[in-house]
Structure 1
Amino acid sequence: MTSTVPASLTRTADGSALQAVFLDMDGTLVDSEGFWWDAEAEVFKDLGHPLDEAWREVVVGGPMTRSAGFLIEATGADISLDELTVLLNDKFEERIGLGVPLMPGAARLLAELAAHGVPTALVSASHRRIIDRILVSLGPGNFALSVAGDEVDRTKPHPDPYLVAARGLGVDPARCVVVEDTATGVAAAEAAGCRVVAVPSIAPIAPAAGRTVVGSLEEVDLVFLRGLMTHGH
């Protein structure tokens, strides 16, 4: 976990009830879910096991260990989880070597949060080595803190990553909004007690209490996020 948040930033921005915003990375801020699937498909093709497209929804948005474990079991590939994790991270890094495209509205939202001094954390199931590469495209200065999947004992769908982010910023999870694109991430955020904005990428996500579903980040701005804290949906 990395953190550069000054103590002054842990105060509520502009007197709003919103204390912080936590953002998922793959599929939420950057259009990388397809990169991950392509990397998985290429690795398993090299191992002699083509992947079934139907498995894509199973592995999207989850921690590396869960996705890799599922694919080993589904294909019967003769490879250990640790060996596969290295291969997948290596292949993904190759694919993002020239940068990764941001999702529509991501750059504008990050700039707005930074301009208003809203403490913002990047919370991802991806490993630190991957996060640090993608932060180059996102702008590391846009985040007071980042939490990687290999830095917590239990990653998404457990609440741990978001609870770690809240402790790191000195904020109350109940006064934070999380932006996620998968059911796995939404489950983690809700288990941590945060309000959630879901921006579905691969599979649909239904609205629910404490959860608002939007079509893209272009619908999300600071006024919208603060309104979730004070007015709900």
Structure 2
Amino acid sequence: MTSTVPVSLTRMAAGSALQAVLLDMDGTLVDTEGFWWDAEVEVFADLGHQLDESWRDVVVGGPMTRSAGYLIEATGADITLAEVTGLLNDRFEKRIGQGVPMMPGAARLLAELARHDVPTALVSASHRRIIDRILDSLGHRHFALSVAGDEVERTKPHPDPYLLAAKGLGASPGRCAVIEDTATGVAAAEAAGCPVVVVPSVAPIAPAAGRVIVRSLEQVDLAFLRSLITSTN
């Protein structure tokens, strides 16, 4: 479940142009999108099926039910959605148990946001069991709350996870800067009314109004995020 937000953070959010920063996890803060694909390849290989590399762009960034459902349909594997979801989570969890590499600039950005008491939420389509394991590496202290894909009725690309995170931080969606890496996540953030910083990971993201595309989190700092809110509100 989402965590309780300290009153001090909610008060700070109410008094600033930039009220909160909402961050995706896989491919944005941690270099794990490849881990998910490797897990999918291995699980379906065990089932006797080879995945086409072109499917990678289709399944990246989405809720597990969508990705797993697509791969079941594409391969014709004789397995239920619940069964393959469990296998994928097990295989991924085993991989991250060996360490989680952070994306360039992620640790520095999280430290800066914490230093300036900026309310921050982790918003992911991954399940709670996975988020909690990765938070052990990222540091739970960096996030006032987190939202998992299996805790909302509709996860990305629907706006619900970002709306829930903004509400939990006492912030207006329009004053929450979102950092995302996939088209699915960007669609969710934009549907919620949040300005978006896009750091593409696996697949390119097309430019559009209301979004800023950067090569790396090394280009993103607090001043950058504050200017984004100022320029869009």
- 1:182–1:201 contact (8 Å) kept in structure 2: yes
CA distance in 2, matches of 1:187, 1:59: 15
* TM-score normalised according to structure 1 size: 0.97
2:93 alignment partner in structure 1: 93
Report matched runs for 1:140-151 at 5 Å: 140-151=140-151
Q: Return the offset for 1:10.
A: 1.3
- For residues 109-165 of structure 1, the C-alpha deviation after alignment (integer angstroms, 9 at most, x for no partner) is 000000100000000000000000000111110000000000000000000000110
CA distance in 2, matches of 1:222, 1:207: 22
Q: In structure 2, the residue corresponding to 1:11 is in which secondary structure?
A: helix
CA distance in 2, matches of 1:152, 1:126: 11
- 1:12–1:18 contact (8 Å) kept in structure 2: no
CA distance in 2, matches of 1:101, 1:182: 18
Q: In structure 1, the residue corresponding to 2:21 is in which secondary structure?
A: strand
- 1:10–1:169 contact (8 Å) kept in structure 2: yes
Report matched runs for 1:24-173 at 5 Å: 24-173=24-173
Gaps of at least 5 residues in structure 2 are none
* TM-score normalised according to structure 2 size: 0.97
Q: In structure 2, the residue corresponding to 1:100 is in which secondary structure?
A: coil
**Residue 150 to residue 13, structure 1, CA distance change in 2 (3 Å):** closer
CA distance in 1, matches of 2:12, 2:173: 13
- Letter of the 2:83 partner, please give it: E
- 1:35–1:95 contact (8 Å) kept in structure 2: yes
CA distance in 2, matches of 1:141, 1:27: 20
Q: In structure 1, the residue corresponding to 2:227 is in which secondary structure?
A: helix
- 2:13–2:171 contact (8 Å) kept in structure 1: no
2:229 alignment partner in structure 1: 229
Q: In structure 2, the residue corresponding to 1:204 is in which secondary structure?
A: coil
CA distance in 2, matches of 1:12, 1:19: 7
Task: Percent identity, please.
Answer: 80
Q: In structure 1, the residue corresponding to 2:225 is in which secondary structure?
A: helix
- 2:62–2:184 contact (8 Å) kept in structure 1: yes
Q: Which runs of 4+ in 1 moved over 4 A?
A: none
2:205 alignment partner in structure 1: 205
CA distance in 1, matches of 2:162, 2:143: 14
Gaps of at least 5 residues in structure 1 are none
CA distance in 2, matches of 1:140, 1:192: 25
- 2:121–2:165 contact (8 Å) kept in structure 1: yes
- 1:99–1:134 contact (8 Å) kept in structure 2: no
Please tell me the root mean square deviation across aligned C-alpha atoms, in Å.
1.3
CA distance in 1, matches of 2:74, 2:167: 38
- Letter of the 2:33 partner, please give it: E
- For residues 59-103 of structure 1, the C-alpha deviation after alignment (integer angstroms, 9 at most, x for no partner) is 000000000000000000000000000000000001111221000
- For residues 35-63 of structure 1, the C-alpha deviation after alignment (integer angstroms, 9 at most, x for no partner) is 00000000000000011011000000000
- Letter of the 1:163 partner, please give it: L
CA distance in 2, matches of 1:196, 1:13: 18
